[in-house]
Chains A and B, each alone.
Chain A
């Protein structure tokens, strides 16, 4: 049993395999936003993400026996999106040696807090953007997967094609950078 919260997908997948009605549609709905957001953050166009997700789920539905996951189903789905994008890039750029996503980016928003002033929120947003900019693409990606998708290292390793140890190292380096830059955030009185 892995530590992440991504067991819902596994349960739904198993239910689907067991023939439970409605499990597949549930699975689709539960996964859609996460996969879509990830695809966009990697750098795919919205059309490309939509099509890729459809193809992925068609395959899940029609050839479930071909799905072999090393870890959770969600990690498998993320890894598929990632591989799909990389393969596409390889062909369009005609290089066989691309295995890096070099443009991972995502925007943070400030959660709506009635106690905060909008200007302050803007400032915080800028600070956070600065922190993100100081990270490499892979560091951003791992922060995203770790904190926002809440994957554990085993899952991240299979998505980003790293060993678990390498994933941990990458995460620590990223957090290290964040820590060095986060002092600015302390200035904002989120919590009295």
Chain B
């Protein structure tokens, strides 16, 4: 038995592993004999024992069967990670584990998955990564910001003219492109369509486009010039809106965590559908969905597409919306410390050149309105 002579306060007992073992093991009988052995510490021993004996956490009901089942599921998931089918959980938002040494892209996309299932997985994919990443199943590559991604007609993937993924290495049906805040990239698809992808976006596209349609899935913002192909429309699917085009140039802004989603047509012809709504829009028109309400209006398309050139054109923008864009572009978090500053009413005109440093951009903005700011690490505090 342990030596408890030097124990004078309750912590001494509580933190003594020998005492712990005794209590957990012999429980009352152990305690009683201990109290007999150290009569002067009777009260201490009794209190400490009471605490330890009563401090049992409520065992969440997990039967051995349940754990057995989960293990089988695990084995299955590991096995199919090497083949092509997968078990899916449709609606739940899981989170992707970012372990100490690397990020791990788990989810795989099955051929006949519904859009809903794809978006559920997209939703649960984390953008908390440092670099732009292109992945398919267990294969993944990091993409340097200044290099173009090109998918050749044979299905190989080149980054900056270097072959990075052979078509045969791509095991999965779909390829996933993740662009974290602070980065942008562009990708050429095998049919010649080019997509510029803005910060904070996730894009999923099939390794090979289907015979009757070319379909991609987007959560974020992309600007596309679609190669014309009669009989095979190009379809951009976002969570609530689908855009179908034959050959055209347009901008899709559908960040899952934005209130306003928009499709802006620069030239060509597109058909937009969202819920029960279905209509074609003409060049210089925008389809807008806000809080479930849809509308079409004439717009200055440059306001919506200028991000591609690294510019934000401000025209009747609220401070709130501007900060959101800055936050994504520069990958900083913006927090308001002065509660009196109304960010939803301020209206701005002008333009921000995002090729400038964050400081210059903020200086310009702060100058034309009444706020001051402070940058600490990756957070901007607005006063």
Where the two chains meet, the residues of A that have a C-beta atom closer than 8 Å to any C-beta of B are 3, 25, 28-29, 32-33, 36-37, 40-41, 47-48, 50-59, 61-63, 66-68, 79-80, 83-85, 87-88, 90-91, 94-97, 106-111, 124, 128, 143-144, 146-148, 150, 171-172, 175-176, 178-179, 182, 185-186, 188, 190-191
A68 x B81 contact (CB < 8 A): no
In the assembled complex, the CB of A76 is this many whole angstroms from the nearest CB of chain B, namely 8
A191 x B46 contact (CB < 8 A): yes
What interface size band does chain B fall in? Answer: 35 or more
Does B53 count as interface, using CB distance less than 8 angstroms? yes
A190 x B53 contact (CB < 8 A): yes
B52 x A91 contact (CB < 8 A): no
Residues of A within 8 A of B127 (CB): 91
B74 x A28 contact (CB < 8 A): yes
- Which residues of B72-95 are within 8 A (CB) of A? 73-74, 77-78, 81, 89, 92-95
Interface string of B31-51 (1 = CB under 8 A from A): 110010000000100110111
Does B14 count as interface, using CB distance less than 8 angstroms? yes
In angstroms, Cα B28 to Cα A59, docked, is 43
In the assembled complex, the CB of B240 is this many whole angstroms from the nearest CB of chain A, namely 19
In angstroms, Cα B101 to Cα A58, docked, is 15
Does B54 count as interface, using CB distance less than 8 angstroms? yes
In the assembled complex, the CB of B133 is this many whole angstroms from the nearest CB of chain A, namely 16
In angstroms, Cα B96 to Cα A52, docked, is 7
Which of B55-63, B143-151, B160-168, B288-296 lies at the binding interface?
B55-63
- Which residues of B342-383 are within 8 A (CB) of A? 377-379
Interface string of B77-120 (1 = CB under 8 A from A): 11001000000010011111111111010100000000000000
Known: A55-B94, A91-B128. 18 other contacts (CB 8 A): A33-B59, A37-B60, A47-B94, A48-B94, A52-B95, A56-B97, A83-B100, A97-B379, A107-B58, A175-B10, A176-B11, A178-B51, A185-B47, A185-B50, A185-B51, A186-B43, A186-B50, A191-B46
Residues of B within 8 A of A52 (CB): 94-95, 97
In angstroms, Cα B176 to Cα A21, docked, is 35
In the assembled complex, the CB of B66 is this many whole angstroms from the nearest CB of chain A, namely 9
B60 x A179 contact (CB < 8 A): no
B78 x A179 contact (CB < 8 A): no
In angstroms, Cα B73 to Cα A53, docked, is 12
In angstroms, Cα B91 to Cα A48, docked, is 12
B98 x A87 contact (CB < 8 A): yes
B58 x A3 contact (CB < 8 A): no
In the assembled complex, the CB of B76 is this many whole angstroms from the nearest CB of chain A, namely 10
In the assembled complex, the CB of B199 is this many whole angstroms from the nearest CB of chain A, namely 13
Residues of A within 8 A of B379 (CB): 96-97
Does B341 count as interface, using CB distance less than 8 angstroms? no
Known A-B contacts A94-B333, A111-B53, A185-B50; A29 and B10 likewise in contact (beta carbons under 8 Å)? no
